[in-house]
Amino acid sequence: MALKVLTVDDSKTIRMIVKKAFQSYSCEVYEAENGVEGLAAATKEKPGLIILDITMPVMNGIETLDRLKADADLKNIPVIMLTAESGKDNVVNIVKKGVKDYMVKPFKGEDLIERVRKIVPLEARGEEESSETKVARYFSQVDDVVVLTLPAKVTRPVTVEVESGLAAKIKDMGAAQLKKMVLDMSGVSETNVLLIKLIITIFQGCQKAGIAVKLVAGAKQAEELKGFQETSQVAVANSIEEAKASF
Amino acid sequence: MGIDSGEPNSSEKEFYMTGIQNVDLRGFVTHSIASVFETMLSMNLTAEDPPQRENVTTGNHVVGTVGFAGAVMGNVNVFVSRDFAREMTAAMLGMSVDDIGSDEEVHDVIGEVCNMVGGNLKSKLCDAGLTCSLSIPSITFGNSFRVESKGWDRHELLGFRNSHNSALIEIYVKNAT
């Protein structure tokens, strides 16, 4: 079973670095932005390891650690403190509170993994998901309409997967004489430049192949799309059904 | 885990006795920022002396700030151009500059760099008996603004360079008593 790791840090950057450090191992990494969210996530997920920052808004790492240790269900979860504060009093204080180890920032991902290995066993991740399987999860079909569903976070790897999968899917659609696609971005949590570029690429690719595309987005997303010159004129449907009906 | 006794060593005792005026703030912060850049960004920094403020503050730039307060009070400000901030973000997150999704990521990285430098300095001060707490980082960005702090006992401005980019670190410190 994959090890559940909870990283609690107000810095998204640090959470990403921690996540990246574990990506070669059979781990599920959960994220929380502060102590309150961290305690809630720990209660829900019962992680096998918590990596905890000290200086955070809402609830800092020291208070979070106190509450973890006071909770019968959570007190045995090993905690590694990851902090920019290496003062002796600080370190003595957190060690007394029962942390398994601490790391001082700046740090490298591999150093973190080395520390973790001393506390919990880490298994290398098994065979990687094939690229075909990765791409297939974005596409589905409803009647004669192919639906391309974007994930919550559109990152560079996602855009690469979608773009490469799109080329193959367009080819398949040509062979099956399918001429309609719905691009569903209603589950995307953040409208960023990568997303806009991806939408344009999808529209252009389909247009070139003679495939009609309709975009599905939430009301807030539709407003955000208007803020980008490239997507300001794109018609938006509220649901896949509405998009299908508009072909 | 190797933890020492927590007793200040002789240089720290001297630090405590003489207060903040005789502390080698410049040396400590130079070492700290170089370590952050090398470890987190795989970038080497060299000192730029005298610091070239206009290289950083002309045009769009980003300033990360952390404060500390207690027996000693102070600010650490890290200034970089927006372009350098984006290069730093790409380096820290292992992506290309073109792949940076939003300024939020850039600001988070500058805030984290500032937090590491400020956190290390705060720890040094605490070890010397000057107990203080660190604030969470804040970010200021734009192309026409000036950051100034007044009434400090000590002010240091340090310049650094990486390839064609410059960075500035400004430190303000004041004894609370």
3-class secondary structure, A227: coil
pLDDT in tens, B101-129: 889 999 999 999 999 999 999 988 888 88
pLDDT (0 to 100) of residue A131 = 60
Phi, psi of B83 (to 5 degrees): -65, -45
- What would you report as the CA-atom Rg of chain B, rounded to the nearest whole angstrom? 16
Sequence-separated contacts (24+) of B21-25 with Cβ below 8 Å: B21/B153, B21/B154, B23/B128, B25/B121, B25/B154, B25/B156, B25/B171, B25/B173
Pairwise CA distance, residues A1 & A80, whole Å: 21
Q: Which of residues A194 and A38 earns the better pLDDT score?
A: A38
Lowest mean pLDDT among A28-42, A127-141, B48-62, B82-96: A127-141
A52-56, A155-159, B137-141: the lowest-pLDDT one: A155-159
| A88 reaches B (C-beta below 8 A) | yes
What is the DSSP code (8-state) at residue A100? S
- Both tokens of residue A238? 């509220």
- Kindly determine whether residue A10 and residue B120, on different chains, have CB atoms separated by under 8 Å: no
Residues 6+ apart with CB under 8 A from B136: A10, A55, A56, A57, B66, B115
A84/B116 CB distance under 8 A: yes
- pLDDT of residue A112 exceeding 50, the answer is yes
Q: Tell whether B3 is within 8 A of chain A (Cβ).
A: yes
Strand locations in chain A (E):
3-8, 27-32, 49-52, 79-83, 101-104, 139-142, 145-149, 180-184, 212-216, 236-237
DSSP code per residue over A48-99: SEEEE-SS-SSS-HHHHHHHHHH-TTTTTS-EEEEES---HHHHHHHHHTT-
Looking at beta carbons, which residues of chain A come within 8 Å of B136?
10, 55-57
Q: Is the pTM of this model over 0.90?
A: no
Residue A64 — pLDDT band, cuts 50, 70, 90?
Answer: very high
**Which of A12, A85, A86 has the CB atom closest to B108's CB atom?**
A12
Which residues touch A185 (CB under 8 Å, ≥6 apart)? A150, A195, A199, A215, A216, A217, A221
Averaged pLDDT for residues A124-144? 73
pLDDT tens digits along B132-172: 888 989 999 988 888 888 888 889 999 999 888 999 999 99
What digits encode the pLDDT tens for the residues B77-106? 999 999 999 999 999 988 888 888 889 999
Calculate how close chain A gets to B12, using CA atoms only, in Å.
12
pLDDT for the residue numbered B19: 66
User: Alpha-carbon distance A244 to A147, whole Å?
Assistant: 10
pLDDT digits (tens, 9 = 90+) for B31-65: 999 999 999 988 889 998 888 888 888 889 999 99
User: Between chains, do B120 and A86 touch, taking CB under 8 Å as contact?
Assistant: yes
What is the C-alpha separation between B170 and B65, in angstroms, rounded?
A: 9
Residue B7 pLDDT level (bands cut at 50, 70, 90)? very low
Give the per-residue pLDDT at B5: 37
